[in-house]
Amino acid sequence: MPLLSLLGVGLVIVTLTVGLEFILLAASLLLLVLGVLVVLFKIWTLYKFPRPTKDLVGFFHPFADAGGGGERVLWAGIRSLQVTRPDLQIALYVGGSLLPSELVSRVESQFQIRVEPTFTVIRLESREELLPARYPRFTMLRQALASVRVAFAGLRRRVPAVWLDTTGWAFPYPLASLLGCRVAAYVHYPTISSDMLARVAGREAAFNNDVGASTPATLAKVAYYGALAAAYSLCGLCAHTVMVNSSWTKRHISLLWLGHRDPFLVYPPCNTEALQELPLSRRLKRLYIVSVSQFRPEKQHALQLRAFARARRDAERLESDAGDAVLAARLELVGGCRNAEDAARIEELKALARELGLEGSVDFLVNLPFPELQALLGEAVVGLHTMRDEHFGIGIVEFMAAGVVPVVHDSGGPREDIVQPEGGGPGSGGATPTGFRCVTEEEYAAALTRVLGMQQLERLEVAAAARRRADRFSDARFAEAFMDAMAGCLPLRT
């Protein structure tokens, strides 16, 4: 509970310094000023914004034309509404230039989700403001403010009855609520988490910050993140319905968001049905290790390359079938490339592969069509995933549904929800393992060697257990849970 501890310590210090009476008076005046500002803003919005459209559900997803797991949730949610509540209108707040017909064609190709092009597109011209690369300093704060500006522009054009955020941008919630929307949220990953605050306090650098070694810098960073967490918590209070995608996310949101101690756990939709048709037995003419994730820094593709290189170095000293299998294996890095930054990152990874001596054993497959990915998964043995604190991990579930043994990071959703022994959770006795969880480069290298060196019968047993586990996360189960969660937020049938 770093946030509460930080606020508590600050309150004690201020109270001892200026006195309790002053604190109460200042708090009362602040609440009065905020109340007046809210009333004035409400009056202003009556003249500047259109009235809410009573049967309109608006999905806020500025990068809906991307190809990640968050986009799969978006389109599966739209599909669920179209099938279950055809009486409702749907608006999509999105950037880019694609028409509804072009979007649904891409969605069917990427995700095998058939969506009718009957929704309205509310074009967000300024979505590029949300990209973190625009803000080398105070990234999260400036992105949060940008999200309000982007949402503001969209709401000026049309105000829905329900504002459904499927991206995690919570800071526009107060605006949408003041405009008369019922706010619903599908949270993939908390913008601020207690784990993040703890890492900053411990001076542990991450992908989006450069915490220094000095104590003043660390304290300033803790104060910065603590203030953001407090604001994030207040924004969550404006949501009427909150869905989360994993037990890990649920725990953090229930701690951080006021008024939402038990959010709906709605696992994201995974394309398990088509992948489960693949045979579990592999011809094994070639041993493939497959990684499927967008080429973003937090996915830690460099760790995958280093772990594979270490496994190969270790295999050269082994005189066994496992060593031969590792040396014969090929790493296939499959991922989406969204922009020039991603393209540059891919080139950096290719350079690292050459540096590690892997140029003949690694392929980069960018924006691979699903039929080709499906064929690749039908031949793969290992599914590699290295992101720390992954909120869920749709790609991991797809590995398991395809009969590919996952090797994943021991944190977040993969640890708490997905890669669990089939037949029970931790301590389930003789239940069959469904994959391997790792943290360090050495552990990943050992796990790769372990899976690649498995005898066929052992691998089939693990793969079958993984496939059974993956069935918990199907499209059909998502649609049912999504509509159950949204029932209290949607307009009544007319």
Q: Are 124 and 149 in contact (CB under 8 A)?
A: no
So what's the pLDDT on residue 122? 97
Cα–Cα distances in angstroms (integers) from residue 166 to residues 70, 244, 451, in the given order: 7, 10, 36
Domains and CATH numbers, the chain: 47-266 (3.40.50), 272-475 (3.40.50.2000)
The token pair that represents 446 in the structure block:
């050992």
Q: What type of residue sits at position 403?
A: G
So what's the pLDDT on residue 6? 39
Beta strands (DSSP E) in 95-171 are: 120-123, 160-165
So what's the pLDDT on residue 62? 97
Please report, in tens digits, the pLDDT of each residue of the chain (494 residues total): 444 443 443 444 344 444 555 555 555 666 666 666 666 666 666 667 889 999 999 999 999 998 888 999 999 999 999 999 999 999 999 999 999 999 999 999 888 899 999 999 999 999 999 998 899 888 998 999 999 999 999 999 999 999 999 999 999 999 999 899 999 999 998 888 766 766 666 655 555 555 445 577 777 777 888 888 888 998 999 999 999 999 999 998 998 898 888 999 999 998 888 889 898 887 766 799 999 998 989 999 999 999 999 999 999 988 788 889 999 999 999 998 878 888 999 999 999 999 999 999 999 999 888 889 999 999 999 999 999 988 898 889 999 999 999 999 999 899 999 999 876 444 445 578 999 999 999 999 999 999 999 998 999 999 999 999 999 999 999 999 999 999 999 998 87
Gap between the Cα atoms of 263 and 242, Å rounded: 5
Contacts of 259 by beta carbon, 8 Å cutoff, 6+ apart:
236, 237
Question: Dihedral of CA 156/158/163/168: which sign?
Answer: negative
Gap between the Cα atoms of 485 and 245, Å rounded: 12
At 46, is the secondary structure helix, strand, or coil? helix
Of 349, 328, 306, 360, residue with least CA distance to 453:
328
Gap between the Cα atoms of 61 and 51, Å rounded: 21
| b/e code 86-106 from CB counts within 10 Å (16+ = b) | eebbbbbbbbbeeebeebbeb
Count other Cβ atoms within 10 Å, centred on residue 316: 10
User: What's the pTM value of the predicted model, to 2 decimals?
Assistant: 0.77
So what's the pLDDT on residue 428? 45
Q: What is the CA radius of gyration of the chain?
A: 24
So what's the pLDDT on residue 13? 39
Instruction: State the virtual CA torsion across 422, 291, 280, 268 in degrees, nearest 10.
Output: 50
Number of helices (H), then strands (E), belonging to the chain: the values are 19, 13
The token pair that represents 70 in the structure block:
């968050």
